[in-house]
């Protein structure tokens, strides 16, 4: 996964410069604002709503730093550059920690972005022809999630022992249409819809690319992939983090999510 990030709040390097230049970490200063890393959509939009409408009355300050890739938010928290992040689900955090290390605490789930399959050529998974190419994420947690969705749609069958981290070519038990599976970094998946027969796209990137009319959608029922708030052990019980978690699960935020995203692409966590 390319370590490419976009600083959409201030100049790229710096939200991190802000850390060293006059601002102190929340762990060091009980009066400091919380510095939160997010994916721009929908996490950044949801957190911006909290900052603009709820945080001041609740007595907490929030500074938002937006990243376009899935590695930098955890790196920034692990290295003390930022205090928490809101961009990932628990399976992704578990796999990241196993592969890269770091000491994190999952606080709580906030919303679910059902994974979906998009195609400009076909109206269902059943229509995809023999030998066609289907793209999906190259990060292990979301790749396995994508394979499960394709299996649920009848396009292939996974081996019983397949799990997060199983190599792509080793996970498939049956592939009757000889589908060519191509893994890409998640931010490249929306563009692949133009060339591939279909693409399994993460919700935040689908929203950002304005992808419409998926041909298969993950069920929200008993779904373990809700995105949530993550911080460090030093801040896990900090009143500001707990208050932020409360705000993110508030009815006001649930209403905002449902109104802004139509109750489909983004769903409040149950």
What's 188's DSSP letter? Answer: G
Confidence of residue 155 (pLDDT cuts 50, 70, 90): very high
| Alpha-carbon distances of 38 from 42, 117, 148, rounded to whole Å | 9, 24, 26
Q: 16-114+223-268 with 116-217: one CATH topology?
A: yes
What's 69's DSSP letter? Answer: S
| Pairwise CA distance, residues 152 & 225, whole Å | 16
Nearest alpha carbon to residue 235 among 33, 97, 53, 100:
33
pLDDT of residue 182: 97
Cβ atoms of 54 and 268 closer than 8 Å: no
pLDDT of residue 203: 87
> Which structure tokens are listed for 227?
């995105």
Query: What CATH topology corresponds to 116-217?
Result: D-Maltodextrin-Binding Protein; domain 2 (3.40.190)
The model's pLDDT over 210-225, given as tens digits with 9 standing for 90+, comes to 999 999 999 888 899 9
> Which structure tokens are listed for 159?
């081996």
Nearest alpha carbon to residue 186 among 151, 135, 117:
135
188-201: average pLDDT? 97
> Which structure tokens are listed for 257?
């999510």
The model's pLDDT over 136-152, given as tens digits with 9 standing for 90+, comes to 999 999 999 999 999 99
Its CATH class, for the domain covering 16-114+223-268, is alpha beta
155-161: average pLDDT? 96
Cα distance between the two ends of the chain: 31
Cβ atoms of 145 and 214 closer than 8 Å: no
pLDDT of residue 169: 87
Confidence of residue 10 (pLDDT cuts 50, 70, 90): very low
Average pLDDT of the chain, as a whole number:
90
25-54: average pLDDT? 95
Percent of the chain whose pLDDT exceeds 70 = 91
Cis peptide bond N-terminal to 141, omega within 30:
no
243-262: average pLDDT? 96
> Which structure tokens are listed for 132?
């066609």
- pLDDT at 1 exceeding the cut of 50: no
| Pairwise CA distance, residues 69 & 75, whole Å | 11
Strand partners, 85: 37, 230
Cα 27 from chain centre: 25
Hey, where are the domains in the chain?
A: 16-114+223-268, 116-217
| Alpha-carbon distances of 62 from 54, 85, 121, rounded to whole Å | 11, 12, 43
pLDDT of residue 23: 52
Phi-psi region of 64 (alpha: psi -120 to 50; beta: other; left: phi over 0): beta
């Amino acid at each position: 996964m390319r370590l490419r990030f976009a600083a959409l709040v201030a100049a790229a390097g710096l939200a991190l410069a802000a850390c060293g230049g006059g601002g102190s970490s929340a762990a060091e200063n009980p009066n400091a604002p919380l510095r939160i890393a997010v994916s721009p959509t929908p996490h950044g939009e949801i957190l911006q709503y909290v900052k603009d409408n709820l945080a001041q009355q609740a007595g907490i300050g929030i500074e938002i730093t937006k990243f376009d890739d899935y590695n930098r938010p955890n790196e920034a928290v692990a290295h003390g550059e930022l205090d928490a992040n809101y961009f990932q689900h628990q399976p992704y955090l578990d796999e990241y920690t196993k592969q890269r290390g770091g000491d994190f605490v999952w606080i709580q789930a906030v919303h679910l972005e059902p994974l979906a399959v998009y195609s400009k050529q076909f109206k269902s998974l059943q229509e995809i022809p023999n030998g066609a190419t289907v793209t999906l994420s190259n990060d292990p947690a979301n790749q396995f999630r994508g394979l499960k969705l394709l299996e649920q749609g009848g396009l292939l069958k996974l081996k019983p022992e397949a799990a997060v981290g199983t190599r792509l070519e080793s996970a498939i038990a049956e592939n009757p249409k000889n589908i060519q599976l191509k893994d890409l970094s998640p931010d490249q998946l929306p563009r692949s819809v133009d060339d591939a027969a279909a693409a399994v796209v993460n919700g935040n990137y689908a929203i950002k690319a304005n992808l419409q009319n998926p041909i298969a959608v993950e069920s929200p029922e008993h779904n373990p992939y809700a995105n949530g708030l993550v911080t460090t052990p030093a801040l896990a019980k900090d009143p500001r983090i707990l208050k932020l978690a409360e705000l993110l699960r508030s009815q006001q935020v649930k209403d905002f999510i449902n109104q802004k995203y139509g109750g489909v692409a983004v769903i409040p966590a149950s």
